[in-house]
Amino acid sequence: MSNPQQLRYTKEHEWLSDAVDGVATVGITEFAANALGDVVYAQLPAVGETVTEGETCGELESTKSVSDLYSPVSGEVVEANQDVVDDPALVNTAPFAGGWLFKVRLSEEPKDALSADEYAALTHSDN
């Protein structure tokens, strides 16, 4: 499993892109998608909603379980991925591409973001 080097990661298995004009993209990692199993439902934060780093902001339901979605950053949601709502399997098939979850205008930089190598060590995966 390969974690893209340009992303940052959390211990709760979310990824975060670098901000462009103050907006970052959020998703869950391939490790988390594999652990969840086949995702069949996605509840994402709504546009305009304020999310807080480390707090729940939605949920993903799979054939195995329901998992809370935690925001890796604080800020205002500017876009939710409607493609994932319509086809939740994108979380499994393209977690670092079309399976992204939402975009957020950052109110501050994340406190405990991990590099790809640090995340690989946390999950004991090859990077």
Q: Is the pLDDT of residue 126 over 60?
A: no
Q: What pLDDT does 110 receive?
A: 85
One-letter amino acid identity for 3?
A: N
pLDDT in tens, 57-76: 999 999 988 999 999 999 99
> What pLDDT sits at residue 109?
85
Its pTM surpasses 0.75: yes
Inform me whether the pLDDT recorded for 127 exceeds 60.
no
HSE, side-chain direction, 13 A CA sphere, residue 32: 26
Asked if residues 25 and 100 have their Cβ atoms less than 8 Å apart, the reply is yes
Average pLDDT estimate for 5-16: 94
Which residues, 6 or more positions from 90, have their beta carbon under 8 angstroms from its beta carbon?
81, 83, 84, 98, 99
